[in-house]
Chains A and B, each alone.
Chain A
Amino acid sequence: MQQFQPGTAQRRLWRFHGGVHLPDEKVLSNTTPVTPAPLPRLLTIPLQQHIGVPAKPIVRVGDRVLTGQKIGEPQGYVSAPVHASSSGTVVAIEKRPVPHPSGLSGPCIVVETDGLDEWAELPEPLANYAELDAATLRERVRWAGIVGMGGAAFPTAVKLNPSADQVIRTLVINGVECEPYITCDDLLMRTQAERVVAGIRIIRHLLGVEECLIGIEDNKPEALAAMRRALAASDMQGSTAVVAIPTLYPSGGEKQLIKVLTGREVPTHGIPAQIGILCQNVGTTAAVADAVLAGKPLISRYVTLTGRGFARPKNLEVRIGTSAADLIAHVGGLGRDIRKLVLGGPMMGFTLHSREVPITKAANCLLALTPGESPDPGPALPCIRCGNCAAACPASLLPQQLYWYARAKELNKLQDYNLFDCIECGCCAHVCPSHIPLVQYYRFAKTESWAREQDKRKAEHARARHEAREARLERQERERQAKLRQKKESLDQAPAAKAKTGDAPTDGGEDPRKAAIEAAKQRAAAKKAAMAEQGVAPRNTQDLTPAQQKQVEAAEARRRAAAEPPAENQREES
């Protein structure tokens, strides 16, 4: 059998359908070393820099905070904390513009830095992580506020906690960086390969995986070499491989990369863990190493400032919360002829509405495009059904059919044509000779579908409530009728009986219904007495915590309120 050779092994690679070759433009920004960006005067730290529930602020305006101090606490499981990226004073906790395609504002903690960059007390480094259990390490990753730094920003601690039935066999490390222009992962791998490898080692231990594949596009020979060197110096050569994959957009998409490296497809609507694979970005991996080995939270990241709109494109190490404007000023400003400022890459990034937005954990690139780089596509022409889009689609969808149905708002048809398998990579729109903004149509259609789903759920709920009410009213009416009938019957019978027996008592001494009720009452009393004897309280809740007790009381209060007939009647009639 052939010896498995680390790094140099020729592995079989697979390919996904479609994809496009793009001018990579990496050389604009990857020839100068990474330098730290200066500390800005103000750090604007959004409470939501991740998928999930926003963090809750745990500092107040006026508080002094230290570098690395937790200032936002995660709420719920799928959430992440945020930390002060430098020391200073909290000057505001309010809504500020955040990086969002729609230019929305979001709650942020604004820290005025004092320039001292004084570190808070950090937790102990876990150098002996190999002896620690997964839960301890996950807790550290969660504390550090680490989220997917490739762009998705999903909380890493959650991702590292696959459900019990999902056994992870392969760890895939994403160093592909397939979007043109962006080079922050490239530079990270070139200069910090040891950190990345250290992070991989931690994650491997945490998940207990056998195999690890590090995918890097072959247009990054320096990064490939650096990673191979770092891997050779580690103790993981036997089961880890640095794999050069052909440069083809969007190889860096999680599902695409898994296909290229393993030949397996993540099922639709599924996650890689379902097929025993877990994927992490190289930046995330380095952050995990910092958190575990140095006890440092995620407070900075590499950001590429590039595009021909920048006089001197380069990579900076940026504190989370630094505004785009500060970074632009630091590298000497923008040229005069800027067509748009994009956060992210040219294929999937979004236009920034304001330069005041802060850099977040997932922000990898600030792209200033000139009209030459991003010319006006002009008005969209009619679709000529050329099929270039279908040939380019990495999900093997039929983009033009989706386009027709999105235009016609035929949401059911869109589901038939698997709209939700679209990853919005932009290949279809890029190759479209009619310059139709296809991705925009799909985003619109997805939003419409979600809105309709929600409406449907609401309608379903309303229908259920309405039916329940109808049934209740009907039942009440039936009961009323039955009572009336009974009363009538007993009234009818009474005179007749009187007539027969003369002075027989008419009260219910011998009435069978009353007798039954009496018997039931006695049984209940007996049971109660028996239970009291055994010292059992007649309730189904015992040993309550104060919080639970509170909930019970609240529920009872609600029940009492609801039981008051006038209130209910009013609600029903309204």
Chain B
Amino acid sequence: MASLIISSPHSARPNRVDRVMLQVILALIPGTAAMIWLFGWGVAINMVLATVFAVAAEAAILKLRGRPALPAIRDLSAVVTALLMAIALPPTLPWWLTLLGVVFAIVIAKQLFGGLGYNPFNPAMAGYVFLLVSYPVAMTTWLAPSMLAVHSVSFADSLHMILTGSPPPGLSWDAVSAATPLDEMRTQLSQGQMIEEIRQSPLWGDFGGRGWEWVGNWFLIGGLFLLWRRVITWHIPVSMILGLTVSAGLFWMLDPQAYPFPGFHLFSGGAILGAFFIATDPVSACTTKKGQLIFGASIGVLVFVIRTWGGYPDAVAFAVLLMNMAAPTIDYYTQPRVFGHGRGAG
């Protein structure tokens, strides 16, 4: 009989890895659109380049490892890594740095640990931190958001900067770039300025940097889509946001002139993107529900700590990588009570 011998269940599986990844990609659309609107086409060019590099790197390393490349590429995980990293990169970053970062992420952080599912660290963040530590100047040169820019940056300008690594003819870096709000806040505070004084500058909007402060909302829309589609659960994003808000709020209440309002922390840098898209990477995060709450809250607190007292203006990547290290231990100590065990039995 031509009947297949497969163990139960025999049901049609409602879920598939590539569909999960595709939904993550779709969820990135609103935030990406906002970034392109603010910082020009460089964001999109970086995304395309990073995707091409990531898929090529994945195929090459799988060939070297003697594994079939096609199923791994089809699962779209390399594309997600590339897109998340590209969003975090400055929109003018020279292409070879993007290549370096992506190759580090895919080859070292992901495949050398065994590929999808085996990587202890979030590959996108590992690649990002690798670049940030190795090329701090290039990695912190950001364009001014469009409403603050003296010169508007065209598609050709973005392409020129990315391909050559130098500003477009007739323009200097100073003319197009500006410090990020987190960077600005940090520099000014370190010079002993009061927050009230700092916020006099036209760089500032209602609570965060002008332009910047709204990017988070668009990523939030994508994040809510992921929640609705049950690609992620609320545990990590909510606990991370709470961790950041509570720790920032506590210090803000102690001294509102030296510590920015928690809303500033939430809607600056990568906090929202991190909460919904980065910390929720299932491979490198905690898997038990209790563990996810600890994991998320710890990232939130670490983001505040590193931003306030650390050496870098933003901290999401560092906080996530630090907690990735702790995830297996947290999981071990937060196992749920099994049915019929302990206090529930009887």
Q: Report the contact-size class of chain B (Cβ under 8 Å from the partner).
A: 35 or more
A396/B339 contact (C-beta < 8 A), A430-B9, A434-B17 known: yes
A373/B339 contact (C-beta < 8 A), A340-B3, A398-B287, A440-B7 known: no
Complexed CA–CA distance, A266 and B346 (Å): 6
B116: A residues at CB distance < 8 A: 381-382, 384
Asked if residues A384 and B345 are in contact (CB atoms below 8 Å), the reply is no
Asked if residues B287 and A390 are in contact (CB atoms below 8 Å), the reply is yes
- Of the listed residues B4, B116, B117, B339, the one surrounded by the most CB atoms of chain A closer than 10 A to its CB is B339
State whether the Cβ of A282 lies closer than 8 Å to any Cβ in chain B.
no
Asked if residues B16 and A435 are in contact (CB atoms below 8 Å), the reply is yes
Asked if residues A426 and B340 are in contact (CB atoms below 8 Å), the reply is no
Instruction: Give the contacts of B2-26 with A (CB-CB under 8 A).
Output: 2-17, 19-20
Asked if residues B4 and A384 are in contact (CB atoms below 8 Å), the reply is no
Asked if residues B115 and A382 are in contact (CB atoms below 8 Å), the reply is yes
Stretch of B84-92, B193-201, B218-226, B330-338 with 4 or more beta carbons under 8 angstroms from chain A:
B330-338
A431/B14 contact (C-beta < 8 A), A395-B339, A398-B335 known: yes
State whether the Cβ of A466 lies closer than 8 Å to any Cβ in chain B.
no
Closest to A387 in B: B287
State whether the Cβ of B183 lies closer than 8 Å to any Cβ in chain A.
no
State whether the Cβ of A354 lies closer than 8 Å to any Cβ in chain B.
yes
State whether the Cβ of B118 lies closer than 8 Å to any Cβ in chain A.
yes
A267/B117 contact (C-beta < 8 A), A22-B11, A431-B15 known: no
Asked if residues B7 and A267 are in contact (CB atoms below 8 Å), the reply is no
Asked if residues A435 and B13 are in contact (CB atoms below 8 Å), the reply is yes
State whether the Cβ of B254 lies closer than 8 Å to any Cβ in chain A.
no
Instruction: Give the contacts of A332-369 with B (CB-CB under 8 A).
Output: 338-342, 344, 346-355, 367, 369
A375 to chain B, nearest CB (A): 5
Contact pick for B339, options A16, A344, A431, CB 8 Å = A16
Asked if residues B14 and A383 are in contact (CB atoms below 8 Å), the reply is no
B232 to chain A, nearest CB (A): 9
Contact pick for B3, options A341, A373, A388, CB 8 Å = A341
Contact pick for A385, options B1, B77, B283, B344, CB 8 Å = B283
A369/B10 contact (C-beta < 8 A), A340-B3, A382-B117, A385-B282 known: yes
Closest to A425 in B: B9
State whether the Cβ of B202 lies closer than 8 Å to any Cβ in chain A.
no
Asked if residues A443 and B3 are in contact (CB atoms below 8 Å), the reply is no
B71: A residues at CB distance < 8 A: 379, 381
Complexed CA–CA distance, A316 and B174 (Å): 83
B73 to chain A, nearest CB (A): 12
Complexed CA–CA distance, A387 and B7 (Å): 22
Closest to B340 in A: A268
Asked if residues A430 and B14 are in contact (CB atoms below 8 Å), the reply is yes
- Of the listed residues A270, A386, A394, the one surrounded by the most CB atoms of chain B closer than 10 A to its CB is A386
B54 to chain A, nearest CB (A): 17
B115: A residues at CB distance < 8 A: 382
B152 to chain A, nearest CB (A): 41
Closest to A372 in B: B12
Asked if residues B338 and A268 are in contact (CB atoms below 8 Å), the reply is yes
Instruction: Give the contacts of A498-544 with B (CB-CB under 8 A).
Output: none
A400: B residues at CB distance < 8 A: 287
Asked if residues A382 and B13 are in contact (CB atoms below 8 Å), the reply is no
Contact pick for A426, options B1, B11, B118, B338, CB 8 Å = B11
State whether the Cβ of B75 lies closer than 8 Å to any Cβ in chain A.
yes
- Write the A89-105 contact mask toward B (1 if CB under 8 angstroms, else 0): 00000000000010100
State whether the Cβ of B288 lies closer than 8 Å to any Cβ in chain A.
yes
Asked if residues A255 and B339 are in contact (CB atoms below 8 Å), the reply is yes
Asked if residues A433 and B15 are in contact (CB atoms below 8 Å), the reply is yes
A305 to chain B, nearest CB (A): 16
Instruction: Give the contacts of B88-115 with A (CB-CB under 8 A).
Output: 115
State whether the Cβ of A246 lies closer than 8 Å to any Cβ in chain B.
no
A367 to chain B, nearest CB (A): 8
Closest to A428 in B: B9
Asked if residues B9 and A439 are in contact (CB atoms below 8 Å), the reply is yes
A310 to chain B, nearest CB (A): 14
A347: B residues at CB distance < 8 A: 8-11
- Write the A262-281 contact mask toward B (1 if CB under 8 angstroms, else 0): 00111111100011000000
What are 9 A-B interface contacts by the 8 Å CB criterion?
A268-B341, A347-B9, A382-B116, A385-B282, A385-B285, A430-B9, A434-B17, A437-B6, A437-B7
Residues of B within 8 A of A (CB): 1-17, 19-20, 71, 75, 77, 115-118, 233, 282-283, 285, 287-288, 331, 335-341, 344-346
